[in-house]
Amino acid sequence: MANRRRRNIIASGIALGIGAAVAGAVAAEKAWVKRDRARDDPYADESYGTLTGTPIGPVRSFDGTELHVERVGKGPTVVLIHGFSLSGLSWHHQVRDLAKHARLVLYDHRGHGRSSRPAGEDGWGLDALAKDLDVIMRECTDDEAVVLVGHSMGGMTVLEYSRLFPDEVRKRVKGIVLIDTTSADVMGNMLPGFARRVEATLQGLQEAAMRALAGRTDRLDRIRHRAPDLQYLGTRVMGFAPSPSPRQVDFVHEMLAETPTETWIKLIPAMQALDVTDVLPSIDVPVLIICGLHDRLTPPHAAERMAMMLPEAGYVVLPGAGHMPMLEQHELLTEHLRTFIKRVHAR
């Protein structure tokens, strides 16, 4: 009896110690986030999320999914394709500045922003995203020659589109811009050799976990919304260069938080299985690859690898940017886009 009481006391002490440590970590995290948000911020008053074009949708895609599409500006047609768990709102600065030089067509991916979720299980792959882009090209660009600009998963969508619709690329696409993206091995780009081998051995467990979570998306949505400070911290570390604008981090965090967990569970495995490297040598239009120097998700070596395999590619690294250069270094990025658009249309 005495031994059992002693064990219970020890167990209670351990539990209290762990609880105190967790509580201390949470308090430290909240304090750090509060200090970080209080830093001087040149974008503190930027009206992110308010600049939009003229809606021309919803546009019904190949499987009935309704896509939110907008147009803004005049000039050569440019289709802007946003990244995973974001929306067309992420092109805030380009809608304001690039629209002075081009007609922008931007849309929300299925399951993102103001677009609907697909009805069937087979509507979540990158092939479905590429078919959405094909619908946008046919119905929203007035059969004009276009420049495709894809960020992150949007760049993967452009590459998959190039694989599925090579004739359309040759006929309709004047140039392609790939921003902070990759053609293969999405998660492995962040991992050294040993860690990548470990990640490969855990892939089966991860897929099983994804299947188990698939039926609990509402509960996971609630859990995500209860941890805003942790999400802010994760967004800052993984999405941005050191010392980012707190307002920009919050803006990206807001888009991430609005994306349903179902979209995460359905699309993350599709991106991890991505490998469209074989299509790169066959893309015979000018390509500009842009990557943030501090990008941890699709780092510069992934961009360099693509540039070496493309027949006609330029490669630009943006200092002071992580995975979100359209926000972090928007002036530089917009200038590179404007120059590229002008060059490919002058050919």
What's the pTM?
A: 0.84
Handedness of CA 69, 73, 78, 82 (dihedral sign): negative
Q: What is the distance between the alpha carbons of residues 316 and 180, in angstroms, rounded to a whole number? A: 10
pLDDT at 331: 98
Whether the predicted pLDDT of 80 surpasses 60? yes
Q: What's the mean pLDDT in 240-261?
A: 94
pLDDT at 218: 60
CA angle 127/129/132 to nearest 5° reads 110
Instruction: Please name every residue paired with 103 in a beta bridge, in sequence order, or none if there are none.
Output: 77
pLDDT at 1: 55
pLDDT at 270: 84
Whether the predicted pLDDT of 342 surpasses 70? yes
pLDDT at 77: 97
pLDDT at 32: 65
Q: Take residue 92 and report the two structure tokens written for it.
A: 């805030």
- pLDDT category at 197 given cuts 50, 70, 90 is very low
- pLDDT category at 11 given cuts 50, 70, 90 is very low
For a pLDDT cut of 70, what percent of the chain falls above it?
79
Q: What's the mean pLDDT in 5-31?
A: 48
Amino acid, res. 247: R
Burial class (CB in 10 A: 0-12, 13-18, 19+), 277: middle
Q: What's the mean pLDDT in 285-314?
A: 96
